[in-house]
Amino acid sequence: MRKPDVIESAMSKIQNEFSQCSTIHADWEFVLTDKKTGETKNTKKFRMLTIHDDDQKYRHVAMIIPELSSEYVQIPDLVEKFLLEIQKTDKSSYKNTSGAKMPDMETFRFTGDVYLYTDKLLVSEDAIRNHFQKNNLVLQSRIIKPNIML
């Protein structure tokens, strides 16, 4: 039996924590390059989600990334970019998790809360929290303890 990856684990946590909400997600990646040569050293895949409370008409953003390090400084820009992309996406091409039609995004107020799901922080939570505050975002940290499989 394989152990669930961080994205799968976080998705089930999000569905449990926000069971009354619909979500929209996109999978992206950070490309980490060597500063001297410009060569790609590594890529880090991550998932961005919006979590919509259809009754209360607000939304949060969640980010799921295994092992977060210095790229956290890019997160506020990515949140903004993601929200803009969802805003302008043709509503008819999207289905949310419940299979319902895409709600009108302009009626949802973004709370500023960014739920960060990761299994390993390589920078201090305070550094991330302070960076988010400067960008009018609120860090909601969710460290995932990997399931130990025997």
Give 51-87 pLDDT, tens digit per residue.
Answer: 999 899 999 999 999 999 999 999 999 999 999 988 8
Cα of 45 vs its chain's centroid, Å: 11
Mean pLDDT of 115-132: 95
Q: Kindly report the CA angle at 111 between 49 and 65, in degrees rounded to 5?
A: 30
* Contact predicate 87/106, CB 8 Å: yes
Residue 148, domain member (yes or no):
no
More confident position, 22 or 93: 22
Residue 17, domain member (yes or no):
yes
Domain count of the fold of the chain: 1
Residue 52, domain member (yes or no):
yes
Residue 149, domain member (yes or no):
no
Range of the structural domain that residue 50 is part of: 6-143
Residue 63, domain member (yes or no):
yes
pLDDT of residue 150: 40
Q: What is the pTM of this model?
A: 0.82
Average pLDDT score over the chain: 85
Residue 1, domain member (yes or no):
no
Residue 51, domain member (yes or no):
yes
* Contact predicate 86/103, CB 8 Å: no
Mean pLDDT of 131-140: 98
